[in-house]
Amino acid sequence: MRLLSPNTWSLRTRLMVGQVIMLMLVCVGVGITTEIALRHYLVGQLDTTVREAVHRSMVMSDHPPPDRPNRPRRQRPGPGPEFLDAPGQPSGLVTMVVRADGSVTAGALATDGSRVAVTDRARDQLKEAVPGAAPLSTDLDGKGSYRIAAEVNRQGETIIAGLPLSGVNSTMWRVLVTMVVVTLAALVAATTLGIAITRRALAPLTRVAATAREVANLPLDRGEVALPVRVPESNADPNTEVGQMGSALNRMLDHIGTALSTRQASETRVRQFVADASHELRTPLAAIRGYTELAHRHRDEVPEQVAHAMGRVESEAGRMTHLVEDLLLLARLDSGRPLDQEQIDLSQIAVDAVSDAHVAGPDHDWQIDLPDDPVLVTGDGARLHQVLVNLLANARVHTPPGTVVSVAVTVDGPQAVLTVTDDGPGIDRALIPEVFTRFARGDSSRSRNGGGTGLGLSIVDAVVRAHHGTITLRSEPGATEFVVRLPRSTANA
């Protein structure tokens, strides 16, 4: 049913349907006008013939031809007035004479020239003709449609004559059939020619649309995309509507290319700054941690407040070191540095990560579900371990004690699937699209027991994508699920 809706049609289809409908309406209008005008003309001619027949009948009734001794008067027996046998009377003529005394003589002229009778009802219908008035149409009983007229002769007799409309109707039908055939032929020819003309006229628009689709398929979100596609100059002529669209699209592509280049340059500078700053911060942080460790060894020799302060410095230096390492990892992944490529058993990584999580969060219920056979993937074991560690840490930090956290490793065709679920309070729907964004924080949606950098899930997303995998999130109160899909190693595919 949707295909029948004009809103779903292409512009080419709409133009073609519009042209065909317009041509059909024009042909129908011309046909109706022609039929009306032709019928009016033919009926007018027939009325003239009917009047002549009435006049001729009046003359013959007033002055019958004299009898000649050497030429007997020609008379054919039959009903109706004798002037039906007069020369020149048309076939199908119906006449009736109403005398002053009320007597009636009526008859008709058959196609073979003989006179035939008319029914009593037909006589009553003939009497509807008004003397001196314009001819009128009537359906004579047993005869069909007729045009009849009446006049009064010198003797006071009413002479009525009528001729059939069959000739007019037959002509009208032939003209109607001709108009229908011509209209259908015109519609077929116009449709065929219109398709060719419309296709040629809309070809530039099709090329503009193809350019727009090509741009739409480019991964513009990565910021490193050049825009080599442009609408050809032949389709960007500002003097035409399609050319104006093509020219506007080219200008828009120029603006998009400039914006992408500017954004890419800005992101490159930011990434380089983060990488450089993180690298430079490692040295002073290492020095700070070294001095705090040295001070920690001699904590008995310093006041208690100084020892406590040095402990806090050591703790914050550790947090800052962790943040710097995360930033360096993201910078390396952004720069496209290759990761280690070796066969990794996801089951072993899951066992190690869940064991560590159990030690870090003994107040949570940790569960694991592994297949009987190893699930091998090709990649960087340390980074994949970090993916699972970050997901488990996210579940531990943002859920209350007693939450059940489950880890499952399964196989789905050519993919290895790593699933982490918990029955905690869930993530706010408004935050779900941003959870993999750097420095995203979801404190308002889940309980919070400790600090975080907001980089954990962004690192997970970056590492998974670097391994040509995907990660998805589904969360509602009582059920939060992260699903990581990675290509399986060819060794067990």
CA distance 189 to 191: 5
Please give the pLDDT value at position 408.
93
CA distance 455 to 215: 32
Give the pLDDT confidence of 235-251 residue by residue, as tens digits: 677 777 777 777 887 88
Please give the pLDDT value at position 422.
92
Q: Percentage of residues in the chain with pLDDT exceeding 90?
A: 26
Residue 66 has phi, psi (to 5 degrees) of -70, 155
The arithmetic mean of pLDDT across residues 476-486, rounded, is: 91
Helix (H, G, I), strand (E, B) or coil at 468: coil
Give the pLDDT confidence of 345-363 residue by residue, as tens digits: 999 999 999 998 999 889 9
Q: Where are the beta strands (DSSP E) in 30-103?
A: 94-98
CA distance 394 to 274: 24
Reported as a pLDDT band with limits 50, 70 and 90, residue 65 is: low
Residue with the bigger pLDDT between 371 and 235: it is 371
Reported as a pLDDT band with limits 50, 70 and 90, residue 13 is: confident
Q: Does domain 242-334 have CATH number 1.10.287.130?
A: yes
Inform me whether the pLDDT recorded for 30 exceeds 50: yes
Give the pLDDT confidence of 304-322 residue by residue, as tens digits: 787 788 788 877 877 777 7
Inform me whether the pLDDT recorded for 449 exceeds 70: no
* Alpha-carbon distance values, 130 to 83, 133, 444 (Å): 21, 5, 100
User: Among 51-60, 199-208, 322-331, which stretch is predicted with the lowest mean pLDDT?
Assistant: 322-331
Inform me whether the pLDDT recorded for 72 exceeds 60: no
Give the pLDDT confidence of 154-196 residue by residue, as tens digits: 888 899 999 999 999 999 999 999 999 999 998 899 888 888 8
Please give the pLDDT value at position 68.
47
Most confident of 119-123, 227-231, 269-273: 119-123
* Angle at 310 (CA atoms; ends 306, 316), nearest 5 degrees: 145
Q: Please, what is the average pLDDT of the chain?
A: 81
Which residue type does 358 have? H
Helix axes 241-297, 166-216, angle to 10 degrees: 30
Please give the pLDDT value at position 420.
94
Q: Is the pTM of this model over 0.85?
A: no
Residue with the bigger pLDDT between 371 and 10: it is 371
Contact by Cβ (8 Å): 107, 92: no
Helix (H, G, I), strand (E, B) or coil at 188: helix
Give the pLDDT confidence of 381-397 residue by residue, as tens digits: 888 998 999 899 888 98
Which strands sit side by side in the sheet containing 470-476, from one edge to the other? 365-369, 404-412, 415-422, 479-487, 470-476
> Domain extents for the chain?
242-334, 342-487
Q: Where are the beta strands (DSSP E) in 326-380?
A: 342-345, 365-369, 376-379
> Judging by beta carbons within 10 Å of its beta carbon (0-12, 13-18, 19+), is residue 468 exposed, middle or buried?
exposed
User: Among 194-203, 332-341, 425-434, 449-458, which stretch is predicted with the lowest mean pLDDT?
Assistant: 449-458
Which residue type does 1 have? M
- Kindly give, in sequence order, each residue whose CB lies less than 8 Å from that of residue 33, ignoring residues fewer than 6 positions away: none
Give the pLDDT confidence of 255-288 residue by residue, as tens digits: 877 777 777 777 677 667 666 666 677 778 778 8
Residue corresponding to tokens 């500017």 = 262
Residue corresponding to tokens 């409309």 = 165
In terms of CATH architecture, what is 342-487?
A: 2-Layer Sandwich (3.30)
Reported as a pLDDT band with limits 50, 70 and 90, residue 448 is: very low
Residue corresponding to tokens 């050319």 = 243
Please give the pLDDT value at position 36.
93
Residue corresponding to tokens 């004798």 = 82
Inform me whether the pLDDT recorded for 415 exceeds 50: yes
Please give the pLDDT value at position 409.
93
Q: Which two tokens stand for residue 215?
A: 């741009």
